[in-house]
Amino acid sequence: MRPLSIFVLFISAFNLNATNHHVGTGQPYATIHSALAKAQSGDTVFVHEGTYAEGNLALDKSMSLIGIGYPVLDGQHNCEIITVTASEVYIKGFEIRNSGQLSTLDVAGIKVLSSNHVVIEGNRIRDCNFGIYLSDTYDCRITRNDVQGIIKEEQNSGNGIHLWKCSRAIVEENHLVGQRDGIYFEFVTDSEIRYNNSEQNLRYGLHFMFSHNDQYHHNWFHHNGAGVAVMYSRQVQMTENEFGYNWGGSAYGLLLKDISDSHIWKNTFEHNSAAVYMEGASRIVLEQNQFRENGWALRVQASCDANVIQQNNFFGNTFDVSTNGSLVLNNFDSNYWDRYEGYDLNRDGVGDVPFRPVSLYAVVVERMPYGLMLMRSFMVYLMDKAEKIIPSLTPEQLMDEKPAMKPLLI
């Protein structure tokens, strides 16, 4: 996941034959194109302050392209700005703005095609269709970039960081705002997403599809249109992320669709319409997560099985758990529920009676969504109290047999 080869690859840039080329006012080269034409593999092109509107810059040799003082590369809404077709390329320190847009081609601020060992670091990307786009690569790194788009219709907007058919990628410490999806993975394996802030994107802060053996941790996903979606994937590790303030009729903190054999650990879910929505999910372990003040903490559909929900804290959620079926194929164990009204006679910290997290009102709303109009009414209070005494409609076996009496230290 952190191959030293990413950095070793640049040793070639420091060999005795390497040359530095400087571009800018008063420099040997007036244009970036002229410096790139002269540069050889292993060379470095330094671009000094200024605005450069030179159309598409093609990097087809192993080299470094470094901006000094954040020079501006302006596509003037006509073209892709940097296209990389060589391996062992390093790009740092530019403001890249105003890419073109085509309905038949994914136009990007920086696009990397069938190249390996590429590092894109410390750039500002503004109003580009796609910010950074990688296709068919391995051992690439995208780090400390600031990608800001302009909110448009979904069909006219691209993703902040987009990876397709890649492996062993690292995406870290980027800020992504105003794109269709902040980060998008499709057919991406053995890769890591860490310490990113993805917010105020039109659709998802993070969107996974058909991507296996990946991990993402210590990321912030706030105020996105529909939250985060992980779909058609397996063996995904989701650790110590924050999912918050994703509100709307189809918004989730985290959507898990047809995902299996994964681990969701020590995450925080707060102020989401639904913190976690699970459909077709199997063999998922959700443990030591915080669910705080969500509409639904967990919406577990009947198509889910063999999942373990254990040692989580549930505080102030309108509904702790809801489901659309009566057959219980998932296990709830040793969670803290702030609605638990049981007792602990032997003082071992575990409730002496099981807790049923699915209320009758949650069942009613799942079947008849317009029932939300009755929320907080006295009739709903009576319904739930009666159901606790004589369970009839709620899934009989969906219970936590060892509820914690106090919030768990996570």
| For residue 121, pLDDT beyond 70 | yes
With bands split at pLDDT 50, 70 and 90, how would you rate the model's confidence at 368? low
pLDDT, greater one: 220 or 357: 220
Residue 144 has pLDDT above 90, yes or no: yes
Lowest mean pLDDT among 60-64, 207-211, 383-387: 383-387
> pLDDT-derived band of residue 102, with 50, 70 and 90 as boundaries?
confident
Residue 335 lies in a domain: no
Note the pLDDT tens digit of each residue in 389-405. Answer: 556 556 677 899 999 99
**Residue pair 74/53 in contact by the 8 Å Cβ criterion:** yes
Q: 126 falls in which pLDDT band (50, 70, 90)?
A: very high
Confidence of residue 371 (pLDDT cuts 50, 70, 90): low
Give 10's pLDDT tier (boundaries 50, 70, 90): very low
3-state secondary structure of 166: strand
Distance CA 25, CA 30 (A): 7
The conformation of residue 164, written as its DSSP 8-state character, comes to E
Is residue 177 included in any domain, yes or no?
A: yes
* Average pLDDT rounded to a whole number, residues 288-316: 96
Mean pLDDT score, 295-307: 94
Q: DSSP characters for 312-335?
A: -EEES-SEEEE-S-S---SEEES-
Q: Cα–Cα distance between 83 and 160 in angstroms, integer?
A: 16
Does residue 137 fall inside a structural domain? yes
pLDDT tens digits along 308-317? 999 999 999 9
Minimum mean pLDDT range among 199-213, 321-335, 357-371: 357-371
Question: Does the pLDDT value for residue 37 go beyond 60?
Answer: yes
How many independent structural domains does the chain possess? 1
Report d(CA 84, CA 145) in Å as an integer.
17
| Mean pLDDT value across residues 175-190 | 98
Q: Would you tell me how many other CB atoms lie within 10 Å of the CB of residue 181?
A: 27
- Give the count of beta carbons closer than 10 Å to the beta carbon of residue 22: 15
Task: Look at residue 16 in the predicted model and tell me its pLDDT.
Answer: 55
Once rounded to an integer, what is the mean pLDDT over residues 238-246? 97
**Per-residue pLDDT averaged across 128-142, rounded?**
97
Report residue 7's pLDDT band, with 50, 70 and 90 as the boundaries: very low
The answer on pLDDT for 8 being more than 60 is: no
List the CATH number of the domain containing 97. 2.160.20.10
Helical (H) or strand (E) element with 361: helix 360-367
- Mean pLDDT is lowest, of 31-35, 102-106, 257-261, for 102-106
Tell me the two tokens of residue 311.
Answer: 């040692």
Residue 187: inside a domain, yes or no?
yes
384 φ, ψ (degrees, to nearest 5): -70, -35
State yes or no: pLDDT of 24 exceeds 90: yes
The two beta strands, 89-92 and 274-279, are: unpaired
Nearest to 90 by CA among 160, 139, 30, 23: 139
Q: What are phi and psi of 155, to 5 degrees?
A: -70, -15
The answer to whether residue 344 scores a pLDDT higher than 90 is yes
Across the range 57-72, mean pLDDT stands at: 98
Mean pLDDT of 167-182: 98
pTM of the model: 0.90
pLDDT of 385: 59
Q: Is residue 143 part of a domain?
A: yes
pLDDT at 91 over 50: yes
Beta strand extents in 136-182 (DSSP E only): 141-143, 146-148, 161-167, 170-172, 175-177
The one-letter amino acid at 67: G
pLDDT of residue 178: 96
Q: Kindly report the average pLDDT of the chain as a whole number.
A: 90
Is 323 a domain residue?
Answer: no
Per mean pLDDT, which range of 7-16, 317-326, 375-384 is the poorest?
A: 7-16
Query: Which has the minimum average pLDDT: 2-11, 34-43, 267-276?
Result: 2-11
- pLDDT beyond 50 at 11: no
- pLDDT at residue 4 in the model: 37
Give yes or no for a contact between 358 and 395, defined as CB atoms under 8 angstroms apart: yes
- Say if 141 falls within a structural domain: yes
Q: How far apart are the first and last CA of the chain?
A: 26
Domain containing residue 45: 1-225
Does 391 map to a domain?
no
pLDDT above 70 (res 158): yes
Is the Cβ–Cβ distance between 201 and 176 less than 8 Å? yes
The predicted structure's pLDDT at residue 3: 46
Is residue 7 left, alpha or beta, with left meaning phi > 0 and alpha meaning psi from -120 to 50?
alpha
Task: Report the pLDDT value the prediction gives residue 397, as an integer from 0 to 100.
Answer: 77
Q: Residue 4: how many CA atoms within 13 Å on its side-chain side?
A: 2
